[in-house]
Amino acid sequence: MEQDLIEGVVGMDRVLHFTIPSRDARGRVVRLGPVLDLVQSAHDYPAPIRKLVAEALVLAALMGSLLKDQDSQLTMQAQTENGIVDMLVCDYRNGELRGYVRHDDERLAACSKAHDGNPTLAELFGKGYLAITFDLAVTGQRYQGIVPLEGESLAEACQSYFIQSEQVPTLIRLATEDCDGHCIGAGLLIQHLPDGEEGRERLHAQMDHPHWEHVSILAGTVRDEELTDCDLSPSDLIWRLFHEEEEVRVAEDAPLTRGCRCSVEHYRTILGRFSEEDRAGMRDEMGVIAVDCAFCSKIFPIEM
């Protein structure tokens, strides 16, 4: 599929919100295309890492879109030990996504050869933990939960975060596909909020609540090919899964974009927090401080 055709697909690079009022459930559907290409074009990632970046960015969009306030931010960062990947970080703010993975090429190649190009989560991260942070713009509060990187996927780790840190039963499904040289990443998130989506403590959330059992079973039937099918709009996907419910409300966010916030002004501000002595140690022989942005793989020469 050509890039211009992907860009014209309904529901691509957007978040679809949905609620099922009679079941006290809310959810999100995300399908990323051109945004993934833009993020990944900054780095020559091998196939297993491209897949990992795609999954991480879909998760960031799914979880970040739960934030209600402008300028609030979701950050997801892996802390690893003895893994092929020693850094994964991505974030979402105001519909902007960015992400970066640092890994050991030689170990990845050896592992991929032994496993037909599909390293397991444990092999990628070793003994690792996933930190999920919500920075709320209006109150200035920060909430962080840290969960082990266990199970089969990043999605399972994020499900554990919501259950352990927020006591919210959550189901997440992810899928990726290479389409004529372009990457498509997609995901479905659904949660049970028996005390309402906002304003009250969720004291009665139960994994065995009949409403949650019902919607989680239906959502769990979604197939990878349905999530990534560009001919199946996100709203049609939700209809396919939940058409027997009394009411399903849907709304679509503004488009998702690649959002690296690097600039000369931004780095000047950061460097201004260092002492002159510290900045002197950063300068090269020409008196320039070279700042390397890992997200967009650009080097910014700063004179100050």
* pLDDT per position as a tens digit, 40-92: 888 889 999 999 999 999 999 999 999 988 899 999 999 888 889 999 999 99
| Residues whose CB falls within 8 Å of the CB of residue 147, separated by 6 or more in sequence, listed in order | 129, 130, 132, 157, 160, 161, 164, 165
Query: What mean pLDDT comes out for the span 121-140?
Result: 91
Q: How confident is the model at residue 163 (pLDDT cuts 50, 70, 90)?
A: confident
Q: Average pLDDT of 115-130?
A: 87
User: What is the pLDDT, as a whole number, of residue 194?
Assistant: 63
Residue 3 in this model has a pLDDT that exceeds 80: no
Residue recorded with tokens 């970040």: 64
pLDDT band of residue 113 (cuts 50, 70, 90) is confident
Give the DSSP H or E segment for 241.
Answer: helix 234-242
Say how far apart CA 115 and CA 168 lie, in whole Å: 35
In the chain, list all ranges with CATH 3.55.30.10. Answer: 3-258
- 156 burial class (0-12, 13-18, 19+ CB within 10 angstroms)? middle
Contact 23, 211 (CB under 8 A): yes
Measured CA to CA in angstroms, residue 247 lies from 21, 28, 205, 221, 242 at distances of: 7, 16, 21, 19, 9
Please determine, for residue 132, whether its predicted confidence score (pLDDT) is greater than 50.
Answer: yes
- Looking up tokens 């460097």, which residue turns up? 271
Is the pLDDT at 226 greater than 90? The verdict is: yes
pLDDT of 204 above 60: no
pTM for the whole thing?
0.86
Above 50 in pLDDT, residue 230? yes
- Confidence at residue 276, expressed as pLDDT on a 0 to 100 scale: 87
Give the per-residue pLDDT at 272.
82
Contact 31, 227 (CB under 8 A): yes
Q: How high does pLDDT run on average in the chain? A: 86
Where are the strands (E) in 122-273, listed by range? 129-135, 142-148, 170-179, 182-192, 249-252, 257-258
pLDDT given at position 284: 84
Question: Higher pLDDT residue, 249 or 198?
Answer: 249
**C-alpha–C-alpha distance, residues 238 and 253, integer Å:** 16
Please say if the pLDDT value at position 7 is more than 50: no
Q: Note the residue count of the chain.
A: 304
Task: Quote the pLDDT of residue 1.
Answer: 32
- Place 183 in a pLDDT band, splitting at 50, 70 and 90: confident
pLDDT exceeds 60 at position 6? no
Confidence grade of residue 265 (pLDDT, cut at 50, 70, 90):
confident
Which of 48-52, 259-263, 268-272 bottoms out in mean pLDDT, i.e. has the lowest? 259-263
Q: How far apart are CA 99 and CA 77, in angstroms?
A: 10
CATH superfamily ID and name for 3-258: Hsp33 domain (3.55.30.10)
The DSSP bridge pattern shows strands 73-79 and 129-135 to be antiparallel
Q: What is the pLDDT of residue 217?
A: 96
Lowest mean pLDDT among 71-75, 133-137, 165-169, 242-246: 165-169
User: What integer is the mean pLDDT of 32-45?
Assistant: 90
pLDDT of residue 2: 37
With cut-offs at 50, 70 and 90, classify the pLDDT of residue 205: low
Could you give the count of Cα atoms lying within 13 Å of 271 in the half-sphere of its Cβ? 24
The span from the CA of 132 to the CA of 134, in Å, is 7
